[in-house]
A and B are shown apart, each in its own frame.
Chain A
Amino acid sequence: MVILQEIIHYIYLIMSGFFGLLLVRALFKRTTRTNLVYDIVYAYAVIPFLLRALRIR
């Protein structure tokens, strides 16, 4: 059960990294919501995913 929990834990960490990369992609390649405010939102929103994927926070 401990091993299973560890596997789930690491799957979630990988998912964090994946969604962080999706946000970076959306920052540069999106067709809607293209104004400056959304650039800031997408760039800012990467931080929590990055920190979690790197097991910093």
Chain B
Amino acid sequence: MSASNIRKLAFLVLFLVLAGFASAEFKGLRYFKEKVVVSEAFTEKRMLSDWLPNIKGTWGDTPVYFYDSGKPGATVLIYGGAHPYEPAGTIAVYVIMENLQLSNGRFILIPRADMSASTEGILGNAYPQYLHIPTSWGQQQYRIGDRETALIDQWPDPFTYVHYPSKQNLAYQDLRNFNRTFPGRADGTLTERMSFAFMELIRNEKVDLVIDFHEASLMYPVVDTYVTHQRAEDIAMMAAMYCQLEMPMKCEVSPKGLRGLTHREIGDYSDALCVLIETAEPFIDRVVGRVTEQLMIDGKDEFLERASEKGLLYTSYDINDAPTIDHRVARLLTASLELIKMYDQFYPDKAVEFWYPRFTDVKTNGLGSYLHDPSAADPSRVFEN
């Protein structure tokens, strides 16, 4: 073998070894399991494929947790993880799952709406793979995923994404965006089928109120905001006013001409009321410095502060009082809590009696105090996602 070929072979082997290390990291994230200790109110775990069997065995299938009081009241569906790179949504659902007390009505909780997207990081952005929440018993570890369904589960992307059934043209990658594919279709792409399965769950389980947890960049106008279907406008407006006691909150009505979004299509294609909640995430703006786990946890970024001083942000930002992960989860908790309480006032015959921690509780006691130790819990109450 010539010296030239030996050199080429050496380079190939070197890069294959590097690919091996990268593969181990990718596989680690793909198969990492998050643990949750469900509260006493938990009654049943099902899978999303129960409502659309053709996603069974795919990475689009995801656990669905039922908390049923057995007494009359509304059915509330809360989910996070539609965009896993907005992890406060998923963690807020976990906090509800671990602490919910229920006297009337029913909760359906889904922490990982797009399971596939949660199993890979964002291409090219050098994001951290995990975040760790400190607790009194150690650290609870969660995945930080991508925005869209993983390419290894749904590929290739089309040149243009034509939304079904509106036929509106959307960005090509939005065909893998769980919050652009509603109401979905039973024989569509994986993400469309996941959305359709959600719609089937909502219709078959007669869900009354759907709450979709998200985080938003601070340079995006819809931040610290309810985005509501017009049928839920009164409830969301009133809830926003009550939120002001603890935190600022805005409210916008879902545009009728922008298709595929949950707050538009769930409202149009089911009897449920649907509200999406955005909280400020100082991690996904393009102007921030290094995107590290520390930034995800403490939210402190000097470039965002500069942008704030220049009036470029759509919410207030102070680096000394930055929106930490505790703060963002706390916001989602109170925002959802006020929505449900307002639903109770509008529909007293379907009132839900419940408790889970709110903004002030989490800010006072810390997020970690509401997460329980899986190793010390009754194994029948520990689940993996």
Contacts and interface: CB of A to CB of B under 8 A. Distances in A.
Interface string A1-23: 11001001100110000000000
Summarize B's interface: helix, strand, loop or mixed: helix
A9 B155 contact: yes
B188 A57 contact: no
A51 B11 CA distance: 17
B319 to A, nearest CB: 35
Interface string B346-371: 00000000000000000000000000
Contact of A5 (B18, B151, B189): B189
Interface residues of A, number: 25
B189 A50 contact: no
A1 B54 CA distance: 12
B156 A8 contact: yes
Interface residues of B, number: 25
B120 interface: yes
B11 A39 contact: yes
A43 B19 contact: no
B19 A50 contact: yes
Contact of A39 (B7, B54, B188): B7
Nearest to A10: B155
A24 B54 contact: no
A43 B15 contact: yes
Interface stretch (B20-28, B32-40, B329-337, B372-380): B20-28
Nearest to B186: A2
Contact of A28 (B8, B14, B155): B8
A46 B19 CA distance: 9
Most chain A CB within 10 A, of B5, B19, B22, B23, is at B19
B14 A43 contact: yes
Interface of B: 5, 7-8, 11-12, 14-16, 18-19, 22-23, 26-27, 54, 120, 151-152, 154-156, 187-189, 193
25 contacts: A1-B188, A5-B189, A8-B156, A9-B154, A12-B156, A27-B11, A27-B12, A39-B7, A39-B11, A42-B8, A43-B8, A43-B11, A43-B12, A43-B15, A44-B11, A44-B15, A47-B19, A51-B23, A52-B151, A55-B152, A56-B23, A56-B152, A57-B22, A57-B151, A57-B152
